[in-house]
Amino acid sequence: MMQLKTRQSDDAGHTTAFNAETSIWKGIAERQQTERARAEEKNQKLRASLEGQLKLATKLERLLRKRLRDEEVAELADNKRFKLPTVAPTDDEIFADQLAHVERAHLDADNIFGGLEFADRTASFCNLRVTSDSESDTGVAFVTKASSMLPFDVHVTERAYWRAFTDEGPSIKMSYFHEERVATENLVARSYALDFNAGSFQSNVRGKQTYRKYVDNDSVMIVWKSLTEPVEINGVKLSGLRCNQVGWIVLRGVNISPEDAQSGLIDTSKTMMSTSLQSYCRMRVELQDDIADQELQVGALTNFVVNSHDAITDVCGKLINQVLVEEDWNINVGWII
């Protein structure tokens, strides 16, 4: 009888140990399955991103090569209009043009953000597209449209973005030359030169940029115009290539009710304020009279636009996130020491 009880006790112990071991392996298997699913999702996003970059690069190169062929045919047919050599604008002229733009750019915001893609302020996207543009020397423009919701109130977001543009951005932190032309509470103009490195993308650029901030009762708008001259991109020396960029960012406060907030993650005892961000940026390329090796420039420009979009978005995104957290702490908790 005692042997039977002992055997039953041993069997129960083995069963408990077996169940525990099974539970452990089941947990490991579930975690491995979750990690595999997460890795597969990441790979799918990466493949989609690479496919999108390839399509963008192919379209860009096709458009630029077509324009070069058209110019060659026109020259051979002696139909090309006589073009006087252009004189490069002075620094004062460049900054005067940028200032004139940012002083009136806010008037264009309704037209720029009036499209269907910006109708839903809670939407989240960031799209880069190549579009035909008769005002660009290359016949194309690069347009970036973005929208997102930020879990910070509009005051915090305004301070963070303005600080990122004027004090913490790549043109400050990564520059080996920097000169402030104007610096006020709502207007900044500067010259800079910088080495930008992000992953497999390296560039040396110099430029000039002017930012203007407009503060309204329920929104904040930041507008800018910049001129960038790539000096070297991934080891390729460049000259005679200029990029003109204009941009708008609109920040609006959005109330989030306790019913819409995720319980346990945030304080749901009162209505929260978040910020809707919508942005639009357009870049055109100028080919100067002294430009050489246009075929090489086409390839370098393609790599510049396609590669720099993801690299700059990643670098600036990390910078903005850091500054947002710091400004939220500064305003709502206390100054960072």
- Mean pLDDT rounded to a whole number for the chain: 76
SS3 217: coil
> What is the distance in angstroms between the CA of the first residue and the CA of the last residue of the chain?
75
CA 251 – CA 220 distance, rounded (Å): 5
pLDDT average, residue stretch 71-78: 54
pLDDT average, residue stretch 40-67: 56
pLDDT in tens, 289-306: 666 676 676 667 666 676
pLDDT average, residue stretch 237-266: 75
Contact 323, 168 (CB under 8 A): yes
pLDDT at 51 (0 to 100): 54
pLDDT at 275 over 50: yes
CA 280 – CA 262 distance, rounded (Å): 30
* CA-angle at 208, arms to 206 and 209, nearest 5°: 130
Structural domain spans, the chain: 1-83, 87-332
CA 112 – CA 145 distance, rounded (Å): 10
Contact 214, 193 (CB under 8 A): no
Instruction: Using alpha carbons, select from 63, 335, 312 the residue that is nearest to residue 199.
Output: 312
pLDDT at 19 (0 to 100): 53
Strand partners, 219: 252
Q: Where are the beta strands (DSSP E) in 8-51?
A: none
Q: Which tokens belong to 28?
A: 């490991």
Contact 128, 281 (CB under 8 A): no
CA 203 – CA 195 distance, rounded (Å): 6
pLDDT average, residue stretch 71-88: 56
Q: At what angle do helices 154-163 and 294-332 cross, to 10 degrees?
A: 130
pLDDT-derived band at 337, boundaries 50, 70, 90: very low
CA 76 – CA 123 distance, rounded (Å): 50
Q: Which CATH superfamily is domain 87-332 in?
A: START domain (3.30.530.20)
Q: Which H or E run contains 144?
A: strand 140-150
Query: How far, CA to CA in Å, does 240 sit from each of 25, 176, 291?
Result: 63, 21, 4
Query: Per mean pLDDT, which of 63-67, 127-131, 160-164, 298-302 is the most reliable?
Result: 160-164
CA 51 – CA 40 distance, rounded (Å): 16
The DSSP secondary structure of 240-276, one letter per residue, reads: SEEEEEEEEEEEEEEEE-TTTS-BTTB--SS-EEEEE
SS3 196: strand
Whole-prediction pTM: 0.72
More confident position, 206 or 41: 206
pLDDT at 80 over 50: no
Amino acid identity at 25? W
**How is the chain split among helix, strand and coil, in percent rounded to 5?**
45, 30, 20
pLDDT at 269 (0 to 100): 47
